[in-house]
Amino acid sequence: MSLAIIAKKAGVSVATVSRVMSGGGGPSKETISRVLKVVEAEGYRIPSPDRRRGPKVTPKSAGTGFVSLLLIGLRSELLAHPFFGPLVATLERSLGRAGLHLVITQSPNGEPVPAILSAQRIDGVLAIGYEPTPEIRARLRQLPTVWMLNSPDDAGEWADSVVMDETRAGVLAARYFLDRGLKDLAFLNVRPQHAAFAERGEAFVKTATAGGASVRMLIKEDAEGDPSDWTNEQLRQYTGEQLDRLARDVSGGSFPQGIFVPAEDAMSVLFAMLLARGIRPNQDVSLICIGAEERILGLLHPRPASIDLNRDAVARHAVELLIKRIEGSGDSVAVRIVVSPAMVPGEKDTASSGVANSVVLN
């Protein structure tokens, strides 16, 4: 159920229903009475006037049994990524326990508005991606909606959100090296245009330099095309170029004591490229990345340290919030949950500042 259904049954516009529910002026007493009768019949509750900042109308029970996973500005191929595939699996399990089913919906360019975004077809939305268009935003405001991973700047006015603490992830990476006495560090950003990667890198550099370390930024700002679309071969080529750049930029080809990579798939590529150049991971150089997917990191020996963004916790919290909205039992104000990352130590990491780093790139 949504404002659209109330409007249809009351014989008024959605805008009129919205004004009645929010206590705004405009509608006549007769119109207000007609809308409120429909609201009462359909089992809606109206938030008190002092707590109407969040989602305005929420039903007490699900109607269709379906929830949309809306990908805004993203393509469905992303779901094959090591991070997103398990995220979707956790969403499906969590929703399934509540008798709900997940439907994946795409809006690659933010338009047109997917037809499924109506209360007649879904009970709520789990949204991932970029800033929605005004048309999609208007539709989402009429449905129980929870943003995941990130959220629009104004989401706190109309939707719940569950996000990852990207800044904390960068801080943990820097502290991992600093606690080991490593001060010659590098940040390898394989996707310069990725906002979360940039945020992780910024926090890493700030924390590392505050701790007396130096950080070499291995970033190719003029990368051709969208790095998120790169093939594994392009990723390997990019990583190789950045490693070779170290040999050119540093006198004698000396190598950093620690390298931070903001993604686990890039770590597997870096790991192979280091071995190919005779550099021993976790011996000649300490490594850490974002992610904890064992299908990738479990194949690397010794396993590098990593930072788990607690993807499953994000999914579970998002589903819990959405179900509350669907059932009408959530807070009247929008809720924002920030999920903290956790450190996963590496295996046999003996890279140390106590011995001069004499690795030379050939």
pLDDT at position 338 is: 95
Terminal CA-CA length for the chain: 65
pLDDT, position 255: 79
pLDDT recorded at residue 303: 94
Residues 6+ apart with CB under 8 A from 77: none
Arithmetic mean of pLDDT over the chain:
80
SS3 32: helix
Q: What is the pLDDT of residue 296?
A: 87
31 phi, psi to nearest 5 deg: -65, -45
**Confidence at residue 78, expressed as pLDDT on a 0 to 100 scale:** 72
d(CA 21, CA 47): 8
> pLDDT digit string (tens) for 7-45?
678 887 655 665 565 454 556 778 778 878 877 776 554
Q: Kind of pairing, strands 342-344 and 305-308?
A: antiparallel
Residue 342: strand pairing partners: 308
What is d(CA 70, CA 131) in angstroms, rounded to the nearest whole number?
A: 12
Q: Could you tell me if 241 and 270 are in contact, meaning their C-beta atoms sit under 8 angstroms apart? A: no
In 10 A of CB 138, how many CB atoms?
13
The encoded tokens of residue 319 equal 């589903």
| Contacting residues for 110 by C-beta, under 8 A, at least 6 apart | 72, 73, 130, 131, 132, 133, 136
Residues paired with 289 in a beta bridge: 261, 306
What is the rounded distance in angstroms from the CA atom of residue 288 to the CA atom of residue 291?
9
Sequential DSSP letters for 93-159:
HHHHTTT-EEEEEEETTS-S--TT-STTT-SEEEEEESPPPHHHHHHHTTS-EEEEES--TTGGGT-
pLDDT values of the chain reduced to their tens digit, one per residue, 362 residues: 455 567 678 887 655 665 565 454 556 778 778 878 877 776 554 544 443 344 443 444 448 999 999 999 887 667 777 788 889 999 999 999 999 999 998 887 766 788 888 778 999 999 998 888 889 999 999 999 999 998 887 777 889 999 999 999 999 999 999 999 999 999 988 777 788 899 999 999 999 999 999 999 887 655 555 555 556 677 677 777 776 766 555 445 577 999 999 988 888 888 988 888 888 999 999 999 999 888 889 899 999 999 999 999 999 999 999 999 998 876 678 999 999 999 999 888 787 654 434 444 44
pLDDT of residue 310: 94
Rounded to the nearest 5°, which phi and psi values hold at 75? -110, 155
Q: Which sign, positive or negative, has the C-alpha torsion 34, 37, 42, 43?
A: positive
User: Which of 328, 330, 293 lies closest to 310 in space, CA to CA?
Assistant: 293
Read off the pLDDT of residues 152-202 as tens digits, 9 standing for 90 and up: 877 778 899 999 999 999 999 999 999 999 999 999 887 777 888 999 999
Question: What's residue 1's pLDDT?
Answer: 42
No. of helices (H) and no. of strands (E), the chain: 11, 12
Model pLDDT, residue 228: 53
